[in-house]
Amino acid sequence: MNLLPITLLLIITTFTLSSSQETQLSKNGCQEKCGDISIPYPFGIGPNCSFNSSYAIECINQSKPILKSTGLEVTEFSLNDNTVRVMQKTTPLNCSSTKGQFQLGQSLLHSPFSYGASINRIIVVGCSTEVSLAGPAPSSGGCRPSCGDSTNVCYGINCCSIIVPEMSQRVQAAYAVSGGGGDSVVCGYAFLADYRWLSSEYGDYVNFSAPMAEMELAMRTVPATLRR
């Protein structure tokens, strides 16, 4: 009796079962995707589908996953890295005043998430503003871009970056404007962003030395990465 066909059938069946089990990332009986994005446990859509309310996902129009505890849109989950990539609004710098303070990104207080220092940077765009970390226990981080012609990279000309303090759940910053107090309202932007996006994707569609009107169109939201 030739056992080869039977052996091959068993191998194929086992592989098929294993593959289906590996692709089942969500909790049994729960919605597996929101649009094209798979929702892995401990996250989940609907009652009893997430580990707790901090990991609950709302699927807007069956296409946009929102991490309900933060209100941020999710574009990627990584179970291997224990990270979540989200989209956040940028902060226009009001240069009609000479100085001010603001919060960068969404506050993550009372959640299990934080901004990973090894992944995120505080990005400052514009060449008349100095931005530094502020708050109860600020680090020494701060930067001020110089003015000039630049390529699509953030290396100090029209754009600079600050390392985010480790395990930050709320990032406060202060800015000071050279020659502020004029009629100009927006003369730069500051935002928290994943440095991998900054180096690989952002330069593909906007130049850091572009006029502010063009920058405004590009800087609606930017991706940042949360650790859990």
Model confidence pLDDT, tens digit, residues 2-30:
544 444 344 334 434 333 444 678 999 99
- What's the token pair of residue 96? 């009609």
DSSP for 98-148, written as a single string: SEEEEEES---TTSS-EE-TTTEEEEEESSSEEEEEESSS--S-EE-PBPS
pTM of the model: 0.79
Least confident of 79-88, 95-104, 121-130: 95-104
Query: Does 78 map to a domain?
Result: no
Instruction: Name the pLDDT band for 91 (thresholds 50, 70, 90).
Output: confident
Query: Mean pLDDT, to the nearest integer, of 166-171?
Result: 89
> For the chain, how many structural domains are there in total?
2
Tell the residue number behind the tokens 């798979």, with chain if given: 38
CA nearest 192: which of 132, 124, 100? Answer: 124
Query: Mean pLDDT, to the nearest integer, of 183-196?
Result: 79
113 and 49, same structural domain?
no
63 and 136, same structural domain?
no
- What's the token pair of residue 67? 């991490």
DSSP for 144-173, written as a single string: -PBPS---SS-SSBSEEEEEPPTTBSSEEE
132 and 37, same structural domain?
no
Q: Given a cut of 90, is residue 84 above it in pLDDT?
A: yes
Query: Mean pLDDT, to the nearest integer, of 61-90?
Result: 95
Instruction: Name the pLDDT band for 167 (thresholds 50, 70, 90).
Output: confident
C-alpha distances out from residue 71 to 63, 104, 169, 181, Å: 15, 15, 15, 34
To which H or E segment does residue 22 belong? helix 4-23
pLDDT computed for residue 139 by the predictor = 55
Counts for the chain of helices (H) and strands (E), in that order = 3, 17
Most confident of 59-68, 101-110, 162-171, 207-216: 59-68
Tell the residue number behind the tokens 């303070």, with chain if given: 101
Query: Does 54 map to a domain?
Result: yes
129 and 156, same structural domain?
yes
150 and 180, same structural domain?
yes
Mean pLDDT of the chain: 81
pLDDT computed for residue 187 by the predictor = 75
CATH number at residue 176: 2.60.120
Least confident of 6-10, 38-42, 96-100, 122-126: 6-10
pLDDT computed for residue 79 by the predictor = 92
Number of CB atoms found within 10 A of residue 212's CB: 16
55 and 167, same structural domain?
no
Q: Given a cut of 80, is residue 97 above it in pLDDT?
A: no
pLDDT computed for residue 42 by the predictor = 97
Query: Does 8 map to a domain?
Result: yes
221 and 123, same structural domain?
yes
180 and 119, same structural domain?
yes
156 and 208, same structural domain?
yes
Query: Does 81 map to a domain?
Result: no
215 and 104, same structural domain?
yes
Amino acid in the structure at residue 223 = P
pLDDT computed for residue 17 by the predictor = 38
pLDDT computed for residue 140 by the predictor = 56
164 and 52, same structural domain?
no
Query: Does 20 map to a domain?
Result: yes
pLDDT computed for residue 49 by the predictor = 98
**Domain region containing 172:** 87-227
Q: How far apart (Å, rounded) are the C-alpha atoms in residues 33 and 184?
A: 45
Query: Does 74 map to a domain?
Result: no
